[in-house]
């Protein structure tokens, strides 16, 4: 196997080229997040998985580009630019908002109207710290005043408190994350019928205040393949301290999905 060229840049970045790896993993970050969330993943993943991280517009090397405001359009664009990578069994791992984007991206790739037909259909969706797409959402966090909005971010555990306490940093950061929350919370998801033709693993943090594990379990209705739900120690960003465990789960189940008969 050879490494795929990078016509999809700036959307996707190969975290560590592994030309002979038989499996791929596409990683989608949370609201306000960037591809740097996954910078430590190559060291945690086994050598048979090549990881590619998604970079949304308006942050890090894409600073200056307009922030996305339509989750469906974002998912369609990602489906198009990801298609060249789908020459081998691939998993999609989305954290929080990224899980919703990953779900919609797979919907596009399985659709008869897909802009690009993948050579090999993705085999596994990993939905992290996210309620099922077809379940009612709670309050509209993006509508909260700044101080209440910042308290939600603090309680979720994924934002450095110094960023929220520094007026200049907060002025730079809040518009990005509020825009992402608005996009995510106002999105009307594609129905789960028919279910996706993938295996599905849901991962949630036992102390996550934003995601009820019982609600997250309804992801089982969104896919026709095998379903597993793991609850791990930690808050909304459990995957940072639990990286070794998460990577082991991803590797085991992606391998199993790749070896299973095609649906």
> Do the strands 227-232 and 199-205 form a parallel or antiparallel pair, or are they unpaired?
parallel
Token pair for 194: 């028919």
Select which of 96, 128, 179, 184 is catalytic: 96
Among this protein's residues, is 128 annotated catalytic?
Answer: no
DSSP for 102-126 reads HHHHHHHHHSTT-SS--SS---EEE
Q: Give the Cα separation of 110 and 103 in Å (integer).
A: 11
Q: Give the Cα separation of 38 and 49 in Å (integer).
A: 14
Select which of 30, 124, 187, 236 is catalytic: 236
Among this protein's residues, is 96 annotated catalytic?
Answer: yes
Token pair for 107: 């919907």
Residue given tokens 């459990």 in the structure block: 238
DSSP for 167-235 reads HHHHHHHHHHHHHHHHHHHT--PPP-SSPBSSEEEEEEETT-SS--HHHHGGGGGGBSS-EEEEEESSS
Residue 143's CB: how many other CB atoms inside 10 A?
12
Q: Which residues are catalytic?
A: 96, 236
């Amino acid at each position: 196997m050879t490494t795929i060229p990078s016509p999809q840049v700036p959307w996707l970045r190969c975290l560590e080229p592994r030309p002979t790896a038989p499996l791929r993993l596409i990683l989608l970050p949370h609201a306000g997040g960037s591809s740097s969330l996954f910078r430590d993943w190559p060291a945690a993943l086994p050598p048979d998985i090549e990881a590619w991280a998604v970079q949304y517009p308006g942050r890090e090397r894409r600073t200056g580009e307009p922030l996305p405001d339509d989750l469906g359009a974002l998912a369609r664009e990602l489906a198009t630019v990801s298609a060249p990578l789908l020459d081998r069994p691939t998993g999609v791992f989305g954290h929080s908002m990224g899980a919703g984007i990953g779900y919609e991206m797979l919907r596009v790739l399985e659709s008869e109207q897909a802009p690009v037909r993948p050579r090999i259909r993705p085999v596994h969706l990993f939905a992290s710290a996210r309620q099922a797409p077809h379940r009612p959402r709670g309050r509209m966090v993006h509508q909260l005043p700044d101080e209440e909005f910042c308290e939600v971010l603090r309680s979720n555990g994924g934002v450095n408190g110094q960023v929220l306490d520094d007026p200049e940093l907060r002025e730079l950061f809040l518009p990005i994350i509020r825009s992402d929350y608005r996009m995510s919370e106002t999105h009307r998801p594609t129905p789960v019928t028919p279910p996706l033709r993938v295996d599905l693993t849901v991962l949630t943090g036992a102390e996550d205040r934003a995601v009820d594990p019982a609600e997250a379990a309804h992801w089982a209705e969104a896919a026709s393949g095998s379903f597993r739900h793991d609850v791990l120690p930690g808050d909304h960003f459990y995957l940072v301290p639990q990286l070794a465990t998460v990577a082991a789960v991803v590797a085991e189940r992606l391998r199993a999905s790749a070896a299973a008969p095609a649906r």
